[in-house]
Every structure is written in C-alpha cells, then in structure tokens.
Amino acid sequence: MNHRTLLMLSTALAAAVTLSACKRDQEQSVMSQPDPAPAPMTPAEPAPAAATASVASVDLGNAVGTDNRVTAPTTTFAPGDTIYAAVTTRTGDPNASVPARLAARWTYQDGQVVHEEGQDLTLAGDGVTTFQISKPDGFPAGRYRVEISLDGAVVETREFEVR
C-alpha cells in the first residue's frame, strides 16, 4: 500500500470513529433526558355531597292536627293533658331520602326519665314527626323537659310546666 492509500484509509477510519462517537453522544443525551411530564388530567367532578337532615323546630301542645303539627303551641299543661312534641325536620336536598333516627327523652324536674322513644325514619324534604306522653292518673305538678335527638345527638330542648 502506498502512502496515499494509507493516509486515506486512516482519515476515513478517523472520520468514521468520530461520527460514530458523535452519534453515540446524541443517543445518550436523548436517552438521559427525563420523560416529558404527562398531560395534566382534567379533575374529576367532585362527588355530590351526601344529603343531610336537620331539626327545624319543636312545638309543644296538647293537640295535633291531621298534619301532625301542634294546633296551639304552649308550655303549660294540665295534669291530665296528653303532651305532644311536634318535631319539624328538613333535608338539605328536598329530593333526597335521608335515613335518620329521631328520638324524644322526657324528664321530670330532677332529671327522672318519664318516657323515652325513638323512631327510625327516612326523611325527605320537610316533614313533621310527633312524640307524645300521657298519664291517665295525671302528671305531678312541676317542671319538665323534652330533649329531641337526631342520630344520637341532642339538637333541641324544650322546657314545660304541669300545673
């Protein structure tokens, strides 16, 4: 081989090694770049809030109408009266049905329990639930209290008197 051929082969070999080394650096640099961040996900719509129930009011009286509401609210009763507590409830979403436990605890002046009663209900929109106590031989004169609880928590208290 002559000097010229050897020089050409050396130059070609050097160029090939240089080009392959450059190509390898490009591949490594492409490979070493972090993956692009995934496209942001659109947030899912939040789940609808669970419907809630609440006690809107409690009225006491000695008579109720066909709608279960007290006809003439009062806090003073005769010993022979039947005493009603009309509990108005409301749900946060009028179209939702909310399972609930509504209870009444009636006590005499020293905290002595006169009567306790609970009802498991399905509440929807506005409604009225009635609790009552009576004593055929008459209630003793004094101060009384009724506590209304919703799902185990006292939410309303009313005091009344028997004379």
Q: What's the CATH number of domain 53-162, 3.30.565.10, 2.70.50.60, 2.40.128.20, 3.40.190.10?
A: 2.70.50.60
Summarised one tens digit per residue, pLDDT across range 95-148 is 999 999 999 999 999 899 999 999 999 999 999 999 999 999 999 999 999 999
pTM above 0.85, yes or no: no
Instruction: Give yes or no for residue 35 having a pLDDT over 90.
Output: no
Both tokens of residue 3?
């000097």
- Give the pLDDT of residue 75: 98
Q: How confident is the model at residue 50, as a pLDDT?
A: 76
Contacts of residue 81, defined as CB under 8 A and 6 or more positions apart, other chains included, come to: 62, 134, 139, 162
Structure tokens at 8: 């050409």
pLDDT reported for residue 10: 59
